[in-house]
Amino acid sequence: MRILITNDDGIESVGLKTVADLLSNKHEVYVIAPVAQKSAAGHGISVHSPLAYKMLDPSGCRLRIAVDGMPADCVKLAVLYFMKDKLPDLVISGINEGSNVGSDVIYSGTVSAALEGAYMGIRSVAISNTDRSFSDGYALAAEFLSENLSMLSSFDMPDYTALNINYPGKKHTGVSVVPVGRNRYTDRFYEVGKDLLQIGGEPLDEESGEETDVSLVRRGHITISPVTLDMNDYRLLETLRKEFSL
């Protein structure tokens, strides 16, 4: 299988290296990732400036390229330029250093890179180690992905849809396919210098009781959630049509 690996933590991150090293033993692995940390970059792309890139030592992969751009830029560069003659069969974004559950997916560069792959018609997966202090989580997440790669690549996927996988902060006790939930943080801004503000905060330990990625990953499950670029609210769409019908 021809696999493109990218992320939002930077090309030298432990999560990316872990999954690239494992998968390159059996697959054609191409790594095109940001040169530096781009967490919470969302689905931004660089349209007002050229993208600088640097070819790196492949380190067992077919190709390693560091890009001075966003995660979604890296996928576009792969599909439209570096791999245009032999497109990837699969895009893997990660392994992210931290969680991408619930409302995190709004901001996540990791999830956005996977959705960019889906937008460009390629099967795509985002994968995260939810607790960066759980160092074994990267290897365990990579092993889970490797062991289930054929299955994750075989079933029909709707257009513009990717899979978002989160590994819990301990050896997993199950696998749950669940919707993305909601989570909140104690967000606030701190003064860190003259005319300088830094956002910070911690996740609120709320348990909704719902079967979502937020609650299941806290219970030690690997969660798999299909996410999509289709941002329509179809129920409200029908309501508004009735309200505005002539």
Q: Which domains does the chain have, with CATH numbers?
A: 2-182+208-244 (3.40.1210.10)
Percent of the chain scoring above 70 in pLDDT: 98
Residues 6+ apart with CB under 8 A from 20: 5, 29, 31, 59, 60, 61
Half-sphere exposure of 109 (CA within 13 A, CB side): 27
d(CA 21, CA 61): 8
Q: Which residues of the chain have pLDDT under 50?
A: none
pLDDT at residue 90, as a whole number: 97
pLDDT value of residue 208: 57
The torsion angles phi and psi of 112, rounded to 5 degrees, stand at -65, -40
Q: What's the mean per-residue pLDDT of the chain?
A: 94
pLDDT at residue 201, rounded to an integer: 80
Virtual CA dihedral for 163, 81, 21, 137, nearest 10 degrees?
-30
What is the reported pLDDT for 88?
97
The per-residue pLDDT for 209 is 61
Q: What is the pLDDT of residue 87?
A: 98
What pLDDT is stored for residue 207 in this prediction?
Answer: 56
Distant-in-sequence, close-in-space partners of 92: CB < 8 Å, separation ≥ 6: 3, 4, 5, 6, 19, 23, 114, 124, 125, 127, 145
Give the integer Cα–Cα distance in Å for 234 and 118.
Answer: 21
What's the predicted TM-score (pTM) here?
0.94
Q: How far apart are CA 121 and CA 37, in angstroms?
A: 26
pLDDT (0 to 100) of residue 72: 98
